[in-house]
Amino acid sequence: MSQWYYLVLGFIVWNGLLLSWLPQLEAQPLAARLAEDSIGRLDDFFDIGNTPLNALVETELWFPQRVDHMDDTNEETFPQLYYLNDTYYQPGGPVYLYTPGEAPNRPRTVTRGFLLKLAEETQGLVISLEHRYYGRSNPVPDLSPQNMRFLSVAQALRDFVNFMHKVPLPQIADRENIRWIIVGGSYAGNLAAWMRLKYPDLVFAAYSSSAPVRAKRDFYEYDLAVGDRLPCHLQISEALDEVDRVLDEGDQTAIRDLQAQFGLEALERPGDFAGALVDQMAGLVQYYAPPRSGKPDNVVEFCNYFFNHTQPVDGFAAATRQYLANDKIDVIEKYDTYQGANNYTLGQAGRAWFYQTCTEFAYWQTAPPPAFLRARSQWVDLDYNEAPCRAYFGDQLPLPVNVESLNWEYNSDHISVDRVYFVNGEFDPWRRLSVSSPVSPHRPSTEDTPVQIINGASHCYDLRQPNEDTDWPQLLAVRDDAIDAFKRWLKTPSE
């Protein structure tokens, strides 16, 4: 499902330059790739590296979490991993509960990133709780179709509630008056906002970064956002017109020749070939980082492939071949949609995330209507996205995905709750499903419910490790404003 593979920022050597526009993904089957693709991988944003705090939180902590919150007669539990950092905690300070969402939990989630700065400024304690079915927090022995039934937004929210009520916190004497602040980005940003919405008496406030709170099946707006960010959008669209012409005509010799030109001749299904082409562009835009002084802009570097070729399809093919070579990609392992469908082993975050998209979110990234320029083949349609759901999770899985149920449950189109700090990046394609979507009615920012858009930023950029060499004035201003907002809210008397 190549249209999903855009998440990991990796630096690769290309023509002597360090470029980050091509995600560095290992060859792997669909379900594994989805963990990197999905909408998160926030653990990568906390800037790998040693700090004096790292050694303080190497201890793994485990909470006995209920397997099924919806069945009072089920008393089974499973161990749920969490990390805790009380370096900056002072009596009366808040507890920040962070979840990495659809990624495994790691110690650096409580030692790095903007979250730690928030804790320092407000004398808070930081906890990072792993989401069920991800990493090592598994309520089931394997990921076979029948064992996926305990994975849902509702179960995840109840995990947080149960954890908040029962986790041992010897650092805090006044347990009854803890001010819990939920923090998350991307899917976890949804959870942060929804925790404040659903449990306002328990959750004092939330920080929600790049949260696509609206579920959508035909999410073609993602493609529009990717294309709009690229100065070679016209050339990309023209190249895809040629790709689709060849695929539509069905001449097998011509199709094989075209796939060989792109280095993708091993793929048997036209949809897999077409889907593979968006991989490099989506990662470039979703995790765009402004270039450091004297360094090339990665968007420009990518588009030069098109500008340096007479025929757009030739430029696209050259860029794709270079991408495949640099990452040493096994084309079948990475782009064959059904590869690994019957692999039920634990530890496949991508398989878990795919289940969530197949049952609640969809988020299918499709080509836009014909009237628009595009960065995705028309072969990447709803059927291409949704059909694998039953191959992975059984013929009884209800399709199409009922996204309206989730949107209604969490008031996604009109979510309004105080003391939630919403942040989005200007260039983040997922902003089209957020509270600051450019295609939704304007939502004013208030002191009680701030809504910020960081110009020049991409997905969850605000949560990254602060860096004085690369952070720009508006990013710094939004972070400072967030700190001020939480300080102001924390001064309010307990209700």
Count the neighbouring beta carbons within 10 Å of the beta carbon of residue 362: 24
Q: Which pLDDT score, from 0 to 100, does residue 53 have?
A: 56
What are the structural domains of the chain?
2-39+217-403 (no CATH), 45-209+416-490 (3.40.50.1820)
Q: Which pLDDT score, from 0 to 100, does residue 440 have?
A: 78
The pLDDT-based confidence of 30 (bands split at 50, 70, 90) is very low
Interacting residues of 334 by C-beta distance below 8 A, sequence separation 6+:
2, 5, 25, 27, 28, 29, 33, 276
Q: Which pLDDT score, from 0 to 100, does residue 468 have?
A: 82
| Global confidence as pTM | 0.90
Count the neighbouring beta carbons within 10 Å of the beta carbon of residue 445: 16
**Taking 80 as the threshold, does the pLDDT of residue 147 lie above it?**
yes
Q: Which pLDDT score, from 0 to 100, does residue 57 have?
A: 63
- Which of 467, 238, 181 is closest to 375 using CA atoms? 238
Q: Please identify which residue in the block is written with the tokens 């700190």.
A: 483
The pLDDT-based confidence of 8 (bands split at 50, 70, 90) is very low
**Measured distance CA(488)–CA(485) in Å, rounded:** 5
Q: Which pLDDT score, from 0 to 100, does residue 295 have?
A: 84
The pLDDT-based confidence of 3 (bands split at 50, 70, 90) is very low
Contact 196, 203 (CB under 8 A): yes
Q: Which residue has the higher pLDDT, 279 or 171?
A: 171
- Cα separation values, 166 from 115, 135, 154, Å: 23, 22, 18
